[in-house]
Amino acid sequence: MWRHNMGRAEIAITLDERVLAEIDRLVLEGVYANRSKAIEAALQDRLARSRRSRLAREWEKLDRSEEEALANEGYACESEWPAYG
């Protein structure tokens, strides 16, 4: 079940009771305004880490010498580019 409300969606989720207790503790301590804010912050953090991790994996696939050769090739051809403007 979900409801869409001005750029936000309301959903129903099921959480482990220990996780929910930890979220409630953070809300009581004033770290988050409510459960929704706490869960949203946790998901945003996890998604950001996932994007960084995926980027790192792709970066590792690059062949540095090949990338350097491509960059140098671009420098060598600069005089052949037409004037801009």
* 3-class secondary structure, 57: helix
d(C-alpha 33, C-alpha 25), whole Å: 11
Per-residue pLDDT of the chain (85 residues; tens, 9 = 90+): 556 666 888 899 999 999 999 999 999 999 999 999 999 999 999 999 888 887 777 777 778 888 777 777 766 555 565 666 6
38: which residues sit within 8 A by CB, 6+ positions away? Answer: 23, 26, 27, 31, 32
Answer yes or no: pTM beyond 0.75.
Answer: no
